[in-house]
Amino acid sequence: MSREPLIFELSAATKKGFALPKLDVPENKGLLEGLPVRAGIPGFPQVSEIEVVRHFTRLSQENFCIDTSFYPLGSCTMKYNPKINEKVAALAHFQASHPYAPQELVQGNLEVLKTLEEFLAEITGMDAVTLQPSAGAQGELVGMMLIRAFLGDRGDARKIVLIPDSAHGTNPSSAHICGYRVQEVKSNDRGTIDLQALERVMTSEVAALMITNPNTLGVFEWDIRKICDIVHARGGLVYMDGANMNALVGKFRPGDMGIDVIHLNLHKTFSTPHGGGGPGCGPVGVKKPLEPFLPVPVVEKGETGLGLNFRRPKSIGRVRGFYGNFLVMVKALAYIRSLGAAGLKEAAEVAVLNSNYIRKSLEGIYHLKYASPTLHECVFSDKLQKERGILNIDIAKRLIDYGLHPPTMSFPLIVPGALMIEPTETESRRDLDQFIEAMKAIAREAVETPDILHSAPHRAPVGRLDETKAARNPVLRWEPPKD
Amino acid sequence: MSYVSLSEQDKKEMLSRIGVSSVDDLFCCIPDDIRLKGELRLPPPLTEPELVELFESIGRRNREGVHLSFLGAGAYRHHIPYIVDYLSSRGEFISPYTPYQPEVSQGTLQVIFEYQTLICQLTGMEISNASLYDGASAAAEAVLMAERLKGRPKILVAGSLHPQYREVIRTYVRNLNIRVEESEYDEKGQVDIEKLRRMIDGETSAVVCQSPNFFGVIEKLDLLAEIAHEHQALFVVLVSEAISLGLLRPPGAAGADIVAGEGQSLGLPLSFGGPYLGFMACRKEFIRQFPGRIAGETNDVDGKRGFVLTLSTREQHIRREKATSNICTNQAWCALRATIFLETLGQEGMCELARQNIQKANYALDSLGTLKGVKRKFGGPVFNEFVLEFEGGYKKVHEHLLSQGVLGGLALEPLYPGLKNCALFCVTEVHGKADIDRLTGLIGEAVS
């Protein structure tokens, strides 16, 4: 089967995909005189409407997606995206709303913001929440900035941020952009933070510990309270990466147990779609002492209704335009309202049940480096298959042939050859069993017909792609053919 | 509502295979004394009809929809071809993950590759990334990138750059050794060239401006580029109204080193400020310092063309604290909408759209400028926005317009204390001649 051409290859002058109404004001011919105008847009496509429709429909069919396939992607929480949430977010009241409209005309929008902030504060046990960050990584950055501003306000210029060796790559990167030096904390043989190691590195130079809980192995930090105590005793703060909050909703509130700052991913725990890589939303929750530092504006209740407060002298400032990814917030609010407290807790419970079911079913067939109990995800590795020359990537690519998305492989770095699996609560028993059976079959193939793994996938729109070539000789855009 | 797919029987059998008696046992790894006792305090669950009713009633508390609006200022109302909604709402585009597994993500990856090409063509630059969060944060990423490339401590930012972009730049640099200084604008509403010459020096990493700028005025990019380059500083051009790229000479042709901005106008509804689309393009030689995901072309084992995310050694998941940015999730679905929008309009449509915007806005400006007590504030050429100064103050004009169901321009005094009695109006192709004449008539009433 030949692949879908690039739109530029379908283009021809005078083809049209859209017509605008005629200009209905008198044209001022002199207007453009002396202006730096362009003659055209060289290479820009010209296609018909049906060509656009077929192009994108065919391209869409080359994607795996939640609506068609199981995504056992660890740490990504690829749960079902309820369709009704798309509908409410598309209501004209929200979609057609201008962000500079006078506040008295957008009370509905402000209510969405305020209510969601309150709900997320209740879910996490924090005192205040900002919804402005556009994704988890921006939430991390805001969280680090809040900590730095808070400490700076006390005249406490600390320079180091501690990060466990199991952390996601955005953690060190976010701390770095905030001007901090990153120091790693070793995990113990249970895969959790080693308290003694923490004691050793937790000095008066340390601003914060960034902790993911449950961590990227899916293991809950049993000593979270002691961890917070150690950090607090030496004047530092504890930041929690809430990427894995789906395991904890209704079960554990970070704010009750010493966490000072947390970010959430609405596109994980709260079901908003990933969109092929965004838009997301990464709200940040804080305890009271950090509230004055939150980004502006802040929604506040006033005498005449809700309003936006831009004047907060201690605020770190804005981190993006307007109020963040508003429609994503509408969807997350709709999700919380649909499920209620009991539904959210059920989601956490079933996510953990599904993950443990997979873990139990594959234990022994794939190597599990850490024996600790896990919550919403589990991290196997390719250690057993590697003896026969099969790597995690071969297993992952072969899964595609079984109609399944590969698990996460790029981290945690403490598990070489990781296969990080997070099924979420929305998968059915049948889907889980199909995944388990596929994984077992692949383990057999690794012994019996290893070549079929090396050359996988065999049933995808393209075979295994040459990523080295793409990086060595970057072709990052289409160029018109040279005559 | 519940979106769980297990039956009670499933649960029982699964628990038994795991070897525990209840789901609660699976949470034994959370110490009992720190587990949440009781339920979260949240409202009871809703069914679909109840949910729709609730959100319709919240939505109705927005009373903005009935107005004819002339607000712009970084968020623009344009017609969006119906097929943008139709195609982008496909589950295969909304519900996939980031395309880290290229063999099952060719759809998303090819879209990104086409998007990158379109952004390069529009901006006149050599390479583009796969998107950033929005215009304001893209501005901040551009500043950080310029500093990495030049290693000098000072950034010169135009005062006519969108106030929110300037705010976000300041937030991003506040903990880094980067100094942001603001240049002034002249009576034409353009960067004051003489003052800029006095401010720029060997410490300057970049000159940052926006065109059309916050006042809607088109900047003299060639001249600004020349000044920046004389001092071996980079020239960064930001664009908040991407439709202007269908008419104006691309920043790349004027000597821009980095072009970034807001792509909301390219097929994204106003949505009370988001999700929008940050775009960024630059010269090829800067690739190692370029932030964000990038798609590249390659081939599979059989030589078939395919696309992958590439050059990821710049990124946080490989480089951790040494990455060029911490960005991970971006705005892929918004970039998809922009791609559909641009490919549907095509070259002719995009150029015609830009032409209509400049013609209509200038028609409005000419009509309004003839009113007594109303003055065009800046003399520089405008694209689809302009600043008016109202002799008797803007407040009563705004209120009169509101009382007649018209949302007037944005009052500028809160953002620029020097621009007393001034407001920024936006006119696009969605405004018919009758709408513009109505605005002129109503303002005439208000000021007379």
Inter-chain touch A340–B45, beta carbons under 8 Å: yes
> Which residue on chain A is closest to B297 by alpha carbon?
A475
C-alpha–C-alpha distance, residues B27 and B4, integer Å = 18
Reported confidence tier of residue A411, pLDDT bands at 50, 70, 90? confident
A295-to-A128, A157, A316 alpha-carbon distances in Å: 11, 20, 6
List, for residues B143-168, the tens digit of each pLDDT value: 999 999 999 999 999 999 999 999 99
- The stretch A137-166 carries a mean pLDDT of 96
C-alpha–C-alpha distance, residues B111 and B109, integer Å = 5
Reported confidence tier of residue B405, pLDDT bands at 50, 70, 90? very high
Residues of chain A with Cβ-Cβ distance to B313 below 8 Å are 471
Question: Which one, of A33, A56, A27, lies nearest residue B352 by Cα?
Answer: A27
What pLDDT score was predicted for residue A238? 98
Inform me whether the C-beta atom of residue A234 falls under 8 Å from chain B C-beta atoms: no
Q: What angle do CA A149, A154, A160 make, to 5 degrees?
A: 60
Instruction: Supply A344's token pair.
Output: 């959210």
State the DSSP H helix or E strand holding residue B410, giving kind and residue range, or none if neither.
Answer: strand B410-411
List, for residues A431-450, the tens digit of each pLDDT value: 999 999 999 999 999 999 99
C-alpha–C-alpha distance, residues B346 and A49, integer Å = 10
Contacts of A245 (CB under 8 A, 6+ apart): A123, A124, A262, A264, A265, A268, A269
For A193, which DSSP code?
Answer: B
Question: In terms of domains, do A163 and A240 share one?
Answer: yes
Query: Residue B421 corresponds to which amino acid?
Result: N
Reported confidence tier of residue A347, pLDDT bands at 50, 70, 90? very high
Inter-chain touch A336–B42, beta carbons under 8 Å: yes
Which class is domain B68-79+347-447?
alpha beta
Query: Residue A258 corresponds to which amino acid?
Result: G
- The stretch A143-172 carries a mean pLDDT of 95
Domain range list for chain B: 68-79+347-447, 82-341
Inform me whether the C-beta atom of residue A80 falls under 8 Å from chain B C-beta atoms: yes
Instruction: Determine whether domain B82-341 maps to CATH 3.40.640.10.
Output: yes
- The stretch B105-119 carries a mean pLDDT of 98
Given A308, A337, A366, the domain boundary residue is A337
Question: In terms of domains, do A419 and A459 share one?
Answer: yes
pLDDT of residue B363 exceeding 60? yes
C-alpha–C-alpha distance, residues A186 and A209, integer Å = 13
Contacts of A10 (CB under 8 A, 6+ apart): A45, A47, A51, A55
A58-to-A4, A44, A55, B297 alpha-carbon distances in Å: 7, 21, 5, 18
Reported confidence tier of residue B322, pLDDT bands at 50, 70, 90? confident
B258-262 and B278-282 as β-strands: parallel, antiparallel, unpaired? antiparallel
- The stretch B305-319 carries a mean pLDDT of 87
Inter-chain touch A328–B274, beta carbons under 8 Å: yes
Given A303, A337, A371, the domain boundary residue is A337
The secondary structure of A4-22 as a DSSP string is PPPGGGG--TT--S--PPP
User: A42 exposed, middle or buried (CB, 10 Å; 0-12, 13-18, 19+)?
Assistant: exposed
pLDDT of residue B317 exceeding 80? no
Question: In terms of domains, do A184 and A301 share one?
Answer: yes
Question: In terms of domains, do A190 and A211 share one?
Answer: yes
Average pLDDT, chain B: 96
What pLDDT score was predicted for residue A1? 55
Largest Cα–Cα separation, chain B: 84
Inter-chain touch B122–A41, beta carbons under 8 Å: yes
Question: In terms of domains, do A299 and A445 share one?
Answer: no
Residues of chain A with Cβ-Cβ distance to B93 below 8 Å are 56, 60, 63, 65, 275-276
pLDDT of residue B89 exceeding 70? yes
Q: How many domains does chain A have?
A: 2
pLDDT of residue B141 exceeding 80? yes
Residue A274 has its nearest CB partner, among B1, B98, B366, at B98
- The stretch A243-260 carries a mean pLDDT of 96
Dihedral Cα B11, B15, B16, B22, nearest 10 deg: -110
Question: In terms of domains, do A365 and A284 share one?
Answer: no
Question: Which one, of A448, A436, A91, A80, lies nearest residue A272 by Cα?
Answer: A80
C-alpha–C-alpha distance, residues B210 and B162, integer Å = 8
Q: Which of residues 166-225 of A touch B (CB under 8 A)?
A: 168-170, 172-180, 182, 219-220, 222, 224-225
Residue A96 has its nearest CB partner, among B51, B93, B270, at B270
pLDDT of residue B65 exceeding 80? no
Query: Residue A227 corresponds to which amino acid?
Result: I
C-alpha–C-alpha distance, residues B437 and B443, integer Å = 10
Interface test with A, best of B11, B121, B264, B320 (most A CBs within 10 A): B320
Question: In terms of domains, do A221 and A115 share one?
Answer: yes
Provide Rg for chain A, Cα atoms.
Answer: 25
Instruction: Supply B67's token pair.
Output: 């107005």
C-alpha–C-alpha distance, residues A134 and B334, integer Å = 13
B234-239 and B278-282 as β-strands: parallel, antiparallel, unpaired? unpaired
- Does a structural domain hold residue A71? no
- The stretch B104-132 carries a mean pLDDT of 98
Selected residue with higher pLDDT from B201 and A482 = B201
List, for residues A181-212, the tens digit of each pLDDT value: 999 999 999 999 999 999 999 999 999 999 99
Inter-chain touch A476–B116, beta carbons under 8 Å: yes
Inform me whether the C-beta atom of residue A242 falls under 8 Å from chain B C-beta atoms: no
Inter-chain touch B218–A36, beta carbons under 8 Å: yes
Residue A173 has its nearest CB partner, among B102, B172, B320, at B320
> Which residue on chain B is closest to A462 by alpha carbon?
B103
State the DSSP H helix or E strand holding residue B127, giving kind and residue range, or none if neither.
Answer: strand B127-128
pLDDT of residue A55 exceeding 60? yes
> To the nearest whole angstrom, how far is the Cα of A83 from the nearest Cα of chain B?
9
The phi and psi torsions of B13 (rounded to 5 degrees) equal -65, -40
User: A205 exposed, middle or buried (CB, 10 Å; 0-12, 13-18, 19+)?
Assistant: middle
Q: How many Cβ atoms are within 10 Å of B417's Cβ, its own excluded?
A: 8
Beta strands in A264-387 (DSSP E): 284-286, 298-302, 305-309, 367-368, 378-381
Question: In terms of domains, do A147 and A200 share one?
Answer: yes
Interface test with A, best of B10, B93, B104 (most A CBs within 10 A): B104
Inform me whether the C-beta atom of residue A465 falls under 8 Å from chain B C-beta atoms: yes
Contacts of B84 (CB under 8 A, 6+ apart): B267, B337, B340, B341, B344
Query: Looking up tokens 């070549």, which residue turns up?
Result: A451
Residues of chain A with Cβ-Cβ distance to B318 below 8 Å are 169, 410
Beta-ladder partners of A418: A381
- Does a structural domain hold residue A381? yes
Contacts of A2 (CB under 8 A, 6+ apart): none
What pLDDT score was predicted for residue B48? 98
The secondary structure of A147-158 as a DSSP string is HHHHHHHTT---
What pLDDT score was predicted for residue A58? 98
Contacts of A200 (CB under 8 A, 6+ apart): none
Question: In terms of domains, do A346 and A312 share one?
Answer: no
User: B281 exposed, middle or buried (CB, 10 Å; 0-12, 13-18, 19+)?
Assistant: buried
Inter-chain touch B325–A23, beta carbons under 8 Å: no
Inform me whether the C-beta atom of residue A48 falls under 8 Å from chain B C-beta atoms: no
Beta strands in A72-198 (DSSP E): 128-130, 160-164, 181-185
Given A304, A337, A370, the domain boundary residue is A337
Residues of chain A with Cβ-Cβ distance to B366 below 8 Å are 28
List, for residues B232-263, the tens digit of each pLDDT value: 999 999 999 999 999 999 999 999 999 999 99
Inform me whether the C-beta atom of residue A476 falls under 8 Å from chain B C-beta atoms: yes
What CATH number does residue A290 fall under? 3.40.640.10
**Residue A265 belongs to what domain range?**
84-337
Instruction: Supply B40's token pair.
Output: 């979260």
What CATH number does residue A441 fall under? 3.90.1150.10
Query: Residue B335 corresponds to which amino acid?
Result: A
Residue B4 has its nearest CB partner, among A67, A250, A347, at A347
C-alpha–C-alpha distance, residues A269 and B412, integer Å = 40
Query: Residue A202 corresponds to which amino acid?
Result: M
- The stretch A62-79 carries a mean pLDDT of 95
Reported confidence tier of residue B140, pLDDT bands at 50, 70, 90? very high
Instruction: Supply B421's token pair.
Output: 């009695």
C-alpha–C-alpha distance, residues A225 and B37, integer Å = 17
Instruction: Number of A to B CB contacts under 8 A, please give it.
Output: 663
- Topology match between the domains B68-79+347-447 and B82-341: no
Inter-chain touch B97–A79, beta carbons under 8 Å: no
> Which residue on chain B is closest to A90 by alpha carbon?
B271
Q: Is the dihedral of CA B41, B46, B51, B53 positive or negative?
A: negative
Question: In terms of domains, do A368 and A222 share one?
Answer: no
Residue B40 has its nearest CB partner, among A18, A123, A455, at A123
Percent of the residues in chain A that have a pLDDT greater than 90, as a whole number: 96
For A382, which DSSP code?
Answer: S
Reported confidence tier of residue B64, pLDDT bands at 50, 70, 90? confident
Percent of the residues in chain B that have a pLDDT greater than 90, as a whole number: 94
Question: In terms of domains, do A347 and A388 share one?
Answer: yes
Reported confidence tier of residue A103, pLDDT bands at 50, 70, 90? very high
Question: In terms of domains, do A169 and A282 share one?
Answer: yes
Beta-ladder partners of B280: B260
